[in-house]
Amino acid sequence: MDIFFPKILRGLKRGPAVIIPKDFGMIVAYSGIGKKSVVVDAGSGSGFLAIALGNIAKSVTSYEWREDFAKLSEENVKRADLKNVKIKNKSIFDGIEETGVDLVTLDLADSEKAVGLAFNALNETGVLAGYLPHSQQVAKFVEECNKAGFKQTITLECIVRNYLVRESGFRPENIGLMHTAYLVFAYK
């Protein structure tokens, strides 16, 4: 079971678990970001999400409190040759310095604690996206979104099935990725 990565992510080094294309695709599609968008991301991890978003958005600022991960992400940004992605070696829980943001993405053990900060950093049509492996995180995250003043949340999971296509027929691959994370999108 190989996971496909688009070209921009292929040569990169991996530390902590990285977001894979199916979930990245959902974040783009459900946030509606484009080339004029300003994005804030935390935590950087290996920098894959920041880089994938940087390929699309005007600018991406990614917060990472761990020095080793921040360094790894920084190196990956250089490898991907993106000038519009900035890694900040800070905890997002200490505050989001950016304002008028179009998208905040959170993939942290305690993502729900940054929901209020994200709300304030976002502009009036801004979207918050949470990447949450467990159902309990989803419950806490959605509760915080409601408290923070977001008007709507969408919680979903994205399952991709790969197919074998041969002359003799067509069928899904036998083994596959059943789960990575639930995604919550919060809209002002």
Query: Taking the complex as a whole, how short is the minimal distance between the CB of residue 181 and a copy of itself, in angstroms?
Result: 8
Site residues, a copy of itself (CB under 8 A): 1, 4, 6-9, 21-22, 24-35, 52, 55-58, 125, 133-139, 142-143, 153-165, 167-180, 182, 184
Query: Taking the complex as a whole, how short is the minimal distance between the CB of residue 180 and a copy of itself, in angstroms?
Result: 7
Q: Residue 3 or 94: which CB sits closer to a copy of itself?
A: 3
* Nearest one of 8, 184, 7 to 84, comparing CA atoms: 8
Query: Taking the complex as a whole, how short is the minimal distance between the CB of residue 50 and a copy of itself, in angstroms?
Result: 13
Q: Which two tokens stand for residue 18?
A: 């990285």
Q: Residue 17 or 95: which CB sits closer to a copy of itself?
A: 17
Strands 122-132 and 38-42: unpaired
- Strand ranges of the sheet holding 182-187, from the earlier edge strand across to the other edge: 85-88, 59-63, 38-42, 101-106, 122-132, 182-187
41 phi, psi to nearest 5 deg = -135, 145
Query: Taking the complex as a whole, how short is the minimal distance between the CB of residue 27 and a copy of itself, in angstroms?
Result: 8
151 phi, psi to nearest 5 deg = -85, -30
Q: Residue 67 or 167: which CB sits closer to a copy of itself?
A: 167
Q: Residue 71 or 154: which CB sits closer to a copy of itself?
A: 154
Instruction: Measure CA of the first residue to CA of the last residue in the chain; give whole Å.
Output: 38
